[in-house]
Structure 1
Amino acid sequence: MFEKIPTMSMQSPYRSHDRASVRGAAPESIRTIVVDDEPPALDELIYLLSRFPDIEIVATAGSGADAVDIITKAQPDLVFLDIEMPDKNGFQVLRELMVCGQLPLVVFATAFDEHAIRAFEENTVDYILKPMSLERLGKTIERVRSLLAKPEGGHGEGRLESLLAKVGLVSAGAIGIVRIPAEDEGRNVLLTPDEILYFSLQDRRVLAHTAKAAYPCGLEQSLDKIEERLSGFNFFRANRGELINLNFVRSYTPWHSGKYIITMRHREATEIELSKSRVRFFKAALGI
């Protein structure tokens, strides 16, 4: 018997079965798995999905780890996936499914703020805000049917990778060699991502901070460009002027007005402000 897992909203343009592409139409029965660590939310979504005759719930899961195992074995057409789970969040589940090559259509049910929603809109096919309505769910199911009726293709993988990059969860192995050019007493040096603790914007110049020193980056290097270049690594935009390496986060503490203070793991124990709009993404990236 399959276990239960958390539910969240967001959709991806992948599926695990060939039957839709062979028929040229959505399958009569859409094999679905629901993942949510909160039983009331899980039960509510199952109830709403029961209103759609072609949705067949083949399993549920209550943790991220169970979700990966169950989805890999059951190979469903569709997964409703929660993001905030205690052991492994929805983004991490999605990453593992992409690595395993077992990627069904994924719908994230989310209570994220507007900043996070923009990331979904840019990089995913669909998402649902909690609490969800039957009408909104119906629109999502229509999109699922439409996608399952299309022949298979690579439509969307890049967008999902972009989403995972925004939360620092894309595998760096596929990115290749990446170096950040900087200046050191008149010399040009090339810094590796794993030696940079964080970047800061000072006097319209980006500084790369390592355990040894702070190095000015080239004049053409904006923080946005550096963030894009390091999209496959564990870097996270904490605020408008600072980009941090999640591997060097020592601790985080609530501050005021919904903001947090992040303390970096090095001798100076630098404190960095985490914007209120980024708190949920930060926690999701760390699997908290």
Structure 2
Amino acid sequence: MHVVIIDDEPKARNLLEILIKENCPKITLISSAEDLLSGVELIKQQQPKIVFLDIEMPQHSGLEIFDFIDKEHHNFEIVFTTAYSEYAIKAFELSAVDYLLKPLRTDKLISAIEKAIQNSGKSTINLKLDELQKSLKSANFKKIGLPVADGIKFVNFEDIILLKADGMYTKVSILNASGILISKPLKHFVELLDTIPSFYRPHRSYLINLKYIQEYSKKDGGYILMDNNESVSISKDKKEEFLTIVQNIG
């Protein structure tokens, strides 16, 4: 398997190459470039399976890669390498874009490569990169990328009714659409959506959008009825907090 590293910092390129050689035996050929345009030429010539791409580089950002490569005819996975802020990392995660945070960690590198290999041949990086660029340009995040069997489904926060834990999976209920089962635990979404004020976790198995509450019932120990007619449990220690919140809605 062939990979290309694009990074303007020689030390960063060398370190990544060493880590790959020491920990990823499936990768047999590594090429590198010091800027985006040189990297694009390498990609066109060598057709790698994975491209490790720095974002902040002189002249051209790594996010501009598809300004120089036909979006419809690439066949590689991208793993961004970045020292970006927490805000930017949130944009990466919401857009379901793979990234490695500098300084690099070996376990994260191995995980990223394994994921890229699994996704080989069914890349949706075009769609994900478009959403990432929109998020980075905006002060407000509006969508979340949900990994589904045939790619990524981007959903507006405001269209999510609730998320329900199902073992290591999460069922996402969406307005005017069928529910989606996502192969990530509820904790993943709780962390991603923690800055979105309309989402609330009344129970360890649920994360709900407060705008879709239909009613609260005191029956059977208390539960919430959502607009899609699904009943949501409330933990005993959350009842008082929940009632205070809903009384202040609107």
TM-score (norm 1): 0.44
1:82 to 2:54 alignment: yes
Deviations 1:31-69 (A, max 9, x none): 100111111111100000002111123421001111111
Kindly report which structure 2 residues correspond to 1:124-203, keeping only aligned pairs within 5 A, or say none. Answer: 124-148=96-120, 152-153=121-122, 155-167=124-136
SS at match of 1:87: coil
Contact kept, 8 Å, 1:67 with 1:93, in 2: the verdict is no
Q: Distance in 2 between matches of 1:144 and 1:33?
A: 13
2:65 alignment partner in structure 1: 93
The RMSD of aligned alpha carbons is 2.5
SS at match of 2:51: strand
2:228 alignment partner in structure 1: none
1:66 to 2:35 alignment: no
Q: Distance in 2 between matches of 1:79 and 1:155?
A: 14
Amino acid of the structure 1 residue aligned with 2:14:
D
Kindly report which structure 2 residues correspond to 1:118-129, keeping only aligned pairs within 5 A, or say none. Answer: 118-129=90-101
1:39 to 2:49 alignment: no
Contact kept, 8 Å, 2:77 with 2:123, in 1: the verdict is no
Q: 2:20 aligns with which of 30, 34, 49?
A: 49
Amino acid of the structure 2 residue aligned with 1:40:
K
Contact kept, 8 Å, 1:110 with 1:129, in 2: the verdict is yes
SS at match of 1:109: strand
SS at match of 2:3: strand
Contact kept, 8 Å, 1:33 with 1:58, in 2: the verdict is yes
Displacement after TM superposition at 1:161 (Å): 1.5
The verdict on how the C-alpha distance between 1:98 and 1:165 changes in structure 2, with shifts beyond 3 A counting, is: farther
The verdict on how the C-alpha distance between 1:154 and 1:81 changes in structure 2, with shifts beyond 3 A counting, is: closer
SS at match of 1:128: strand
1:109 to 2:81 alignment: yes
Deviations 1:1-22 (A, max 9, x none): xxxxxxxxxxxxxxxxxxxxxx
Q: Distance in 2 between matches of 1:155 and 1:99?
A: 10
Contact kept, 8 Å, 1:107 with 1:128, in 2: the verdict is yes
Gaps of 5+ in 2: 144-250
Contact kept, 8 Å, 2:78 with 2:125, in 1: the verdict is no
1:281 alignment partner in structure 2: none
Q: Distance in 2 between matches of 1:118 and 1:98?
A: 27
The verdict on how the C-alpha distance between 1:156 and 1:70 changes in structure 2, with shifts beyond 3 A counting, is: closer
Amino acid of the structure 2 residue aligned with 1:132:
L
The verdict on how the C-alpha distance between 1:154 and 1:65 changes in structure 2, with shifts beyond 3 A counting, is: closer
2:164 alignment partner in structure 1: none
The 10-residue stretch of structure 1 (99-108 or 34-43) with the greater mean CA deviation from structure 2: 99-108
The verdict on how the C-alpha distance between 1:137 and 1:154 changes in structure 2, with shifts beyond 3 A counting, is: closer
Displacement after TM superposition at 1:73 (Å): 1.8
Q: Distance in 2 between matches of 1:58 and 1:165?
A: 31
Percent of residue pairs identical? 31
Displacement after TM superposition at 1:98 (Å): 4.6
Contact kept, 8 Å, 2:3 with 2:51, in 1: the verdict is yes
The verdict on how the C-alpha distance between 1:91 and 1:125 changes in structure 2, with shifts beyond 3 A counting, is: closer
SS at match of 1:66: helix
Q: Which has the higher contact order (CA 8 A, sep 6+)?
A: 1
Q: Distance in 2 between matches of 1:224 and 1:120?
A: 14
SS at match of 2:68: helix
